[in-house]
Structure 1
Amino acid sequence: MHIRQDLADLLAAGHSDRAIARQLNVDAQATVAVARHALGLPKAKPGVRPAATAEILFHRRTQAADGGHLRWKGSVTRGGLPSLRHGGRNLSAYRIAYRIAHGREPQGKVLPTCKREGCVQIGHHADRGDRARAQDRAAFVRAWNRGRTKAILAQRARAETDRAREQRLEDLFDAIFGDQR
């Protein structure tokens, strides 16, 4: 029996007879079931297939929103945080978005940085380490600005002192030598 290559590929990928029949516009019983039997493949398991990874499940449950944000379409906790269940565990959508963006597990609590409630856009989250580094940078900038202000004020004071000293020397010179210049 000759079996179409596209039919064999879909069967090997684990698609159901009905799904293959719809996609290839063939009869499920006469064509797909016979090909499955000829290839020695078992019947496809019914129901929705679980996502291979939490990241795939994350992308299935998001929807683009205005302003470059992602809206969460999945379940939320009692506290209103976006979450999903994968591998028998409840996972935070914020943590998954952070892991996708940074390629590592977050440290501590993950919070959105864009101030948009419930945003799960990849790259819009910070963990404890990121927030600490941002606070350090802000403190450095504040200190730098205070130091620069002090330095500018000190420079101005030195300039005023220098001008006053030059004026006193000129007055003294005029007092000693008069108009002999």
Structure 2
Amino acid sequence: MTKPRRLAVGTFLIPALLVSAAACGGDETDASPGATTPSVSKDPASSAPSLAEPEKGGEAEAMAAYRAHWQEVEKAYAKNSIEGTDIKKTSVGPARLAIEKSVKSARENGQAVKGRPGLSNLTVTKADLNRDVPKVHLSSCLDVSEWVIYNKSTGEPVPQPSDRLTKYTVTSLLEKWPDGWVVTKDEPHQDTQC
């Protein structure tokens, strides 16, 4: 059995936004809390925390913010621009920079993405809610099999390696700033199928 390979297509890679964020980020970011305002998801999981279980409420809010973030990522790739999306509200620092660079690269290479990514098995792996800037670490399964890279001038899909890994684990870090939760880090584990 061969080990799955990373998706590699010229200079535009869907997972590149995650790889770039992982290379630049750790548990801390150098962005300041006042820099952005995160979006508020209408996901039922984002309801106010229960007084009986405040940690569960904070974790649920972070998960809802992460789902809302991925909706904005999907919009940015579909539009080939972050303009008209809430990327600047849902992400900061390395996480946002990686998305901006990847979308710009796609645009400059005459490529775009259609379809939608799948996000499943979203799980809190660590939560530290009793600090000045609360943090939640998440793990999820990202499925890019229905997220198709295509050539904008021809409309044809960009050929992909037949053995590319299309479902892999992603670990993420969110921080709660004064206006809500923001994604500060997304790290793909493209050798870990989920």
**Interval containing the TM-score (normalised by the shorter chain):** under 0.3
- Whichever structure has more helix as a proportion of its residues is 1
- Whichever structure has more strand as a proportion of its residues is 2
Greater gyration radius: 1
